[in-house]
Amino acid sequence: MSQKIDLDQRRFRQIIRGKIKQNLRKYISHGEMIARKGQKTVAIPLPQVNIPHFRHGGKQQGGVGQGDGEEGDAIGQGEAQPGAGEAGDRPGEHMVEVDVTLDELAEILGEELQLPRIEPKGAERIIAHKDRYTGIRSTGPESLKHFRRTYKQALKRQISTGTYDPNNPIIVPIRDDKRYRSWKTEPLPQSNAVIIYMMDVSGSMGDEQKEIVRIESFWLDTWLRSQYEGIESRYIIHDAMAKEVDRDTFFSTRESGGTMISSAFKLCAKLIEDEYPPEEWNIYPFHFSDGDNWSVDDTVTCVELLRNRILPAVNLFCYGQVESPYGSGQFIKDLQEHFGEEQKVVTSEIKGKEAIMDSIRDFLGKGK
């Protein structure tokens, strides 16, 4: 049912997407992409466009509340300002947050970014088979007897031959009536995936850059998890050397050193070769860096590694370059130069938190 409000809503969405009314862009507040992750829920703020007005500034505000508590008791955290009883013709809040489960979140993400469903790899190459007892045949071992079907068959026979007496409904199956369960062999498409996160933790990656990586990888993780039954993630950090770590370390490391991206690629290739045969696994390496590789030689090595060992094995290789005041941002250009035509390589520049969404769309918009 189309409603009058659809036009207005569509217009609003377009503004949010930044498609129109560029001047309003700065009033769009998305807030923190991830607020909490309690149990299986996450709070995300809904986008809003706030038209400017003459109004009181937040600094000196406070408010009145009701309830128990002593002076000095905390009633709320941080900068989020609790509403002070909005007056108006409709209930309004400055930032509306909504709790969603991760599944719903992935769905929303898919919708918002219009991500196509990922096709499980190897649909043609069936390796696993599963037997399921859904069939019927007329011969078989007694242990597989199908009771109901047998009796149904007997009943049919009796009715058709006229020996069925409704007043005395005794059914006696004969040998021909007997039915047995049988199995069907079903192909089980393998849809396993592994994500390999690689992050540059050299001195040039600061807290803000890592924060961006954290947020982006959260979203990627959520989305891919919703597309695949079982998903594994591996984490590699590198500066001049690479090593595999667990998730927490991945996000909290504070290394500093030079940057040799090839070390990470080498480790990644090795990981794939050792543990994740591409026939069975859908592999998604993501690499985040500020683009400042040590030397041109190293970059050449990277390109070779990618071309020869990594790309043939993976669904998609994604490189996200975050902006950093120290990095030169050269690597992305090199990748684009060598792999510009290659479908499997996607690069994206992530200028800041606002660009994360666009970056995810770049990465996953192709549905591989």
Partner 1 sequence: MQQDIEGHAKDYGLDFFPIIYEVLDYKTMHEVAAYGGFPTRYPHWRFGMDYEQLSKGYEFGMQKIYEMVINTNPSYAYLLEGNSLVDQKTVMAHVCGHVDFFKHNYFFSKTNRKMIDGMANHASLVRRHMSRQGQSPVEDFIDVCLSLENLIDPMSPFIAREAKPVEASDKDETTEIPRLRAKQYMDKYINPPEFIEAQRKKQEEEDEKKRTRFPAQPQRDILKFLIDHAPLERWKRDCLEIIRREAYYFAPQAMTKIMNEGWATYWHSKIMTEKAASAAEIIDYADACAGILATSPGRMNPYKLGVELYRHVEQRWNKGQFGREWDQCDEMSAKRDWDRRLGLGRDKVFEVRKLYNDVTFIDEFFTLEFCLEQKFYTFGFNERSGNWEIMSREFAKVKEQMLRSLTNRGQPFIYVEDGNFENRGELLLRHSHEGVDLDMGEARDTLQNLYRVWTRPVSLLTKVDSKGKILRFDDDGFSDRSATIE
Binding to partner 1 (CB under 8 A): which residues in 9-38? Answer: 9-13, 15, 20-21, 24
Interface residue with partner 1 among 19, 38, 39, 67 (CB under 8 A) is 67
Nearer to partner 1, 10 or 184 (CB): 10
Q: Are strands 281-289 and 317-322 parallel, antiparallel or unpaired?
A: parallel
Residue 353 and residue 31: Cα distance in Å, rounded? Answer: 10
Residue 345 and residue 364: Cα distance in Å, rounded? Answer: 11
Other CB atoms within 10 Å distance of the CB of residue 354: 13
Binding to partner 1 (CB under 8 A): which residues in 110-149? Answer: none
∠102-316-115 over CA atoms, to 5°?
45
Closest listed residue to residue 219, CA positions, set 102, 95, 100, 97: 102
Residue 111 and residue 41: Cα distance in Å, rounded? Answer: 19
Could you tell me the two tokens for 1? 């049912």
Question: Which range, of 55-63, 150-158, 159-167, 352-360, touches partner 1 by CB under 8 A?
Answer: 55-63
Question: Which range, of 43-51, 150-158, 215-223, 306-314, touches partner 1 by CB under 8 A?
Answer: 43-51
Interface residue with partner 1 among 22, 38, 52, 167 (CB under 8 A) is 52
Nearer to partner 1, 70 or 124 (CB): 70
Interface residue with partner 1 among 19, 38, 39, 71 (CB under 8 A) is 71
Could you tell me the two tokens for 323? 């902006």
Q: Is 181 exposed, middle or buried (0-12, 13-18, 19+ CB in 10 A)?
A: middle
Binding to partner 1 (CB under 8 A): which residues in 75-104? Answer: 75-78, 81-85, 87-91, 96, 98-100
Question: Which range, of 66-74, 313-321, 323-331, 341-349, touches partner 1 by CB under 8 A?
Answer: 66-74
Least separation, in Å, of the C-beta of 245 and partner 1?
31
Tell me the site size for partner 1, rule CB under 8 A.
Answer: 60
What distances in angstroms separate CA 13 from CA 16, 24, 95, one per listed residue?
5, 12, 17
User: Which residues here bind partner 1, judged by CB under 8 A?
Assistant: 1, 3-5, 7-13, 15, 20-21, 24, 46, 48-49, 51-78, 81-85, 87-91, 96, 98-100
